């Protein structure tokens, strides 16, 4: 079953963003499919969705929960964002995605940053040039937070929600660098924000809107939003809040071998943007091989330049004006969220409004 969507087609040899529509089916049709009406053999353990956001320490939290003996973690199953998987129903979710938790598990956590974005993906089609062109793949993406929340609440109506938000100007700058590093983006930050993809990120950065969607589906007592700035500045308090919500003890004093996605420096991003553009030249041009090697070299040094603070801080991806415009866009919504979370003073101190 398909339903209308707006999507992003990321194709090789283009700047990349083409809006596509699929007019087959209708949203209403999904209400009668996807989730079994029969009772599911689901677990009696408390169930949590960790919705992200990306670039808010989500990888670190996933690894921290994944190595905890009392947490049964499912990471990025793509069950809800992939139509064929979701339409197999609730029992398939518990049987094939959740599986059998260990006897000492005290809770189940399904973690996926796409839950905050409301991001869905179609099939990934790799072209014959995939080995030569890092962007030579066709990927359809569309965003619908309401549909994502609907699918999650139908499948696990008793779930609790954990989300971590980050001041929007910092978050969008970090997301931009992430996409330059991993998805071959080579536009400026300003053009990125104006693109269809950037607009989807802007919607996801309306944290108050996303909070309202999850509260409406699961209830106010079952949704916990925390601040990324707390994780940075007072991690012990941050983990106390998560531990109390999960019912298991998590701590920042853990194995230092856990992965941490370190953001690439501005200098490396500037070099990489240039390499991304050059490596998108026509395949028959002989210098293209050198450009692809240049990108590979930039990828290797991307996180090492941060060891030179004066150099890494000399270039910015977004201007002060652009950052201020982003903050102004969410000022009222952030204040509203602060009141709902009873964190108005803290969010003001962190610069959300």
Closest CA to 125 of 285, 283, 10, 267: 10
Q: What is the DSSP string of 161-207?
A: EEEEE--HHHHHHHHHHHHHHHH---S-HHHHHHSHHHHHHHHHT-H
Pairing mode, strands 137-143 and 119-126: antiparallel
Per-residue model confidence as pLDDT tens digits over 202-235: 999 999 999 999 999 999 999 999 999 999 999 9
d(CA 94, CA 236): 33
Per-residue model confidence as pLDDT tens digits over 99-120: 999 999 999 999 999 999 999 8
pLDDT, residue 299, reads 64
d(CA 291, CA 311): 24
d(CA 346, CA 352): 9
pLDDT, residue 286, reads 62
Stretch among 122-126, 281-285, 289-293 having the lowest mean pLDDT: 122-126
pLDDT, residue 186, reads 75
Question: Strand, helix or coil at 142?
Answer: strand
d(CA 260, CA 228): 14
Per-residue model confidence as pLDDT tens digits over 251-263: 876 554 555 555 5
The distance between the two most distant Cα atoms of the chain, rounded to a whole number of Å, is 62
Cα torsion 36, 40, 43, 44: sign? positive
Task: Specify the DSSP class assigned to residue 349.
Answer: H
Task: Specify the DSSP class assigned to residue 343.
Answer: -
| Tokens 């079953």, located at residue | 1
Closest CA to 121 of 14, 20, 48: 20
Per-residue model confidence as pLDDT tens digits over 119-134: 987 654 444 334 434 4
Closest CA to 72 of 36, 17, 109: 109
Which range among 175-189, 235-249, 302-316 has the greatest average pLDDT?
235-249
Per-residue model confidence as pLDDT tens digits over 155-179: 999 999 999 999 999 999 999 888 8
Nearest-Å Rg of the Cα atoms of the chain is: 21
Domains contained in the chain, CATH given: 6-263+319-350 (3.40.50.300)
| Tokens 């009406």, located at residue | 37
pLDDT > 90 fraction of the chain, expressed in percent and rounded: 53
Residue 244: C-alpha distances to residues 14, 60, 166, 239, 241 (Å): 48, 19, 21, 8, 5
H helix intervals, 247-287:
266-278
Question: Strand, helix or coil at 20?
Answer: strand
């Amino acid at each position: 079953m398909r339903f209308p969507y707006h999507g992003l087609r990321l194709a090789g040899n283009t700047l990349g963003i083409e809006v596509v529509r699929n007019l087959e089916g209708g949203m209403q049709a999904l209400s009668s499919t996807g989730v079994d009406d029969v009772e599911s053999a689901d677990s009696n353990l408390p169930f949590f969705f960790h919705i992200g956001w990306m670039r808010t320490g989500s990888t670190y939290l996933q690894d921290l929960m994944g190595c905890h003996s009392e947490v049964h973690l499912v990471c990025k199953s793509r069950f809800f964002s992939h139509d064929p998987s979701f339409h197999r129903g609730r029992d398939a979710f518990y049987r094939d995605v959740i599986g059998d938790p260990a006897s000492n598990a005290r809770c189940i956590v399904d973690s996926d940053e796409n839950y905050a974005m409301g991001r869905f993906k179609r099939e990934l089609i790799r072209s014959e040039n995939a080995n030569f062109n890092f962007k030579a793949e066709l990927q359809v993406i569309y965003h619908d937070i309401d549909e994502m929340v609907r699918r999650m609440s139908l499948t696990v109506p008793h779930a609790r929600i954990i989300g971590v938000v980050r001041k929007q100007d910092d978050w969008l700058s970090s997301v931009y660098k992430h996409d330059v590093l991993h998805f071959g983006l080579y536009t400026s930050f300003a053009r990125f924000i104006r693109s269809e993809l950037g607009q989807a990120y802007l919607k996801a950065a309306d944290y108050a809107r996303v909070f309202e969607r999850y509260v409406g589906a699961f209830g106010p007592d079952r949704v916990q939003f925390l601040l990324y700035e707390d994780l940075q500045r007072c991690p012990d308090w941050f983990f106390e809040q998560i531990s109390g919500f999960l019912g298991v003890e998590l701590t920042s004093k853990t194995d230092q071998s856990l992965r941490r996605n370190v953001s690439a420096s501005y200098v490396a991003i500037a070099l990489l943007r240039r390499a991304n553009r050059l490596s998108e030249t026509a395949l028959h041009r002989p210098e293209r091989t050198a450009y692809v090697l240049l990108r590979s070299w930039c990828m290797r040094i991307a996180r090492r330049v941060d060891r030179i603070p004066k150099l890494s801080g000399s270039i910015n991806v977004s201007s002060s004006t652009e950052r201020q415009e982003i903050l102004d866009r969410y000022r009222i919504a952030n204040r509203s969220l602060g009141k709902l979370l009873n964190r108005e003073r803290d969010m003001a101190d962190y610069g959300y409004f």
